[in-house]
Amino acid sequence: MTCGSSTVAARCSKIVERFNQEGSATSEIDAMPKSGWTLIETLEPGRLTVVARDHEARDRTSFERAVTDQLGIGKAPGHEAAQWLEALIADMRSHPEAAATHRVLRNGHTVSARLVPVIGPDNALHGAHVWLGPDGTQPQQRPVSAFAFTWDSHLRLAEFPAALTGGTPRSQLTAPEIFRFVEPADGLSLIRALLSSQPGDSWSGAVTVTVGKNNRPGHVVMAAGTPPQPPAKWRGLLFETSTPMAGMSLEAAALAAIPRISQVHMVLVDIAKMRLIRWITDPLPDVQWKGQVDQRDTPHPDDVKRIFAAAADVFTGKAESAEVHDVRLRRRGGGWVVVDGSGAIVGTSDAGPALAVLQLRVTGHSDEPDPVAPTDAGHPGLDDPEQPDPLPS
């Protein structure tokens, strides 16, 4: 798969370039291969867990146990060393700078440590690379490639650090743009996480980072916001692993080829917000989707009403499918791309966000003027209690 617009392609390429070449925004260690480092996530206040060690993902395991194992010392000195490192990382939350230090433990054992922060676009510490060794030694390899991001489950936008902007004007990507270069092994569970905003929620899983012919195995760890941060504000880490990558399935390859033989494009959407989540085929070209430039709804305002009226029947269970014809979608540079749309609800075995598959067929173009100001925030969604006609809960 490739990213859609040239701007998004540049952003994706910059991310993968950093993903391939650097351990973090602050790492200056150049040797290969990567080993001997532990990646710690600091996504939630007062909690540290291990998410990667020696280039292998870990399922948010105990930090103290990892320190004890890595040093090869007893439980008591391991606890002492872990407390020392926890204090260093706590200080790094307010002063995110790389550190090289050492400590003499009560048993006389001297521990050398290197710590490299992984900083998010919100300037918060999302993680830390930690290297431990005997006195007088230093790492001969660089940390595993990693970078931090945030996800707003209300705006449906991810934000990346300024160091990854690659000279492009955007620091944010929509969900469909993300899925153009991050392929999760369990896409449905990640989508459910992206649409959730409950305190304490978290998600982790294997992904493949793909831009053009450049594929790298990776892992994502995310945690929803905890007070005083809003739960809709997720923090996350994406890092490289050595896990073998799964190839594209025959079914996925067949679906991706559909637009090359017809004007049909297919996409997964969040019914409540009528926001695009993930393209099943290649994206519909030349359309300025919500969140790429501003928060205006992509369809013409007269068509927005027709779309939400049809979606309401699906959302409330009155219908399993719907059709809306002659929908005008805002075109890049002005005017509209006209499509016929049809959709059907995606059945899942358990509770989760209501999803649907949309099929969009291009039928023409229009040069009608755009009546919507760029400052407009668009329709709040069918699940917003403050909208004029909220749906029953």
Residue 284 · residue 298 · CB < 8 Å: no
Positive or negative, the Cα torsion across 17, 51, 222, 353? Answer: positive
CATH number, residue 264 = 3.30.450.20
- Quote the DSSP letter at residue 311: H
pLDDT tens digits for range 319-330: 888 999 999 999
pLDDT tens digits for range 180-215: 888 888 888 898 888 877 888 999 999 988 766 778
Same structural domain for residues 282 and 223? no
Same structural domain for residues 160 and 180? yes
Position 141 pLDDT exceeds 90: no
- Quote the DSSP letter at residue 13: H
Same structural domain for residues 210 and 62? yes
Same structural domain for residues 356 and 324? yes
Q: What is the pLDDT of residue 353?
A: 76
What domain count does the chain have? 2
pLDDT tens digits for range 81-111: 999 999 999 999 999 999 999 999 999 989 9
Q: What is the pLDDT of residue 247?
A: 60
Q: What is the pLDDT of residue 13?
A: 61
Q: What is the pLDDT of residue 207?
A: 92
Residue 251 banded pLDDT, cuts 50, 70, 90: low
Q: In 3D, which of 61, 68, 60 has the Cα closest to residue 84?
A: 68
Range of the structural domain that residue 92 is part of:
1-247
pLDDT tens digits for range 115-140: 999 999 989 999 999 999 888 888 88
Distance CA 34, CA 269 (A): 39
Greater confidence (202 vs 31) lies with 202
Same structural domain for residues 284 and 341? yes
Question: What's the rounded mean pLDDT across residues 52-72?
Answer: 90
Neighbouring residues of 228: CB distance < 8 A, sequence distance ≥ 6: none
Same structural domain for residues 297 and 381? yes
Same structural domain for residues 258 and 169? no
Position 312 pLDDT exceeds 70: yes
Same structural domain for residues 66 and 175? yes
Mean pLDDT of the chain: 83
DSSP string computed for 326-362: EEEEEBTTSSEEEEEEEEEE---SS----EEEEEEEE
Distance CA 118, CA 128 (A): 6
pTM: 0.81
Range in 228-242, 281-295, 340-354 with the lowest mean pLDDT: 340-354
Position 10 pLDDT exceeds 70: no
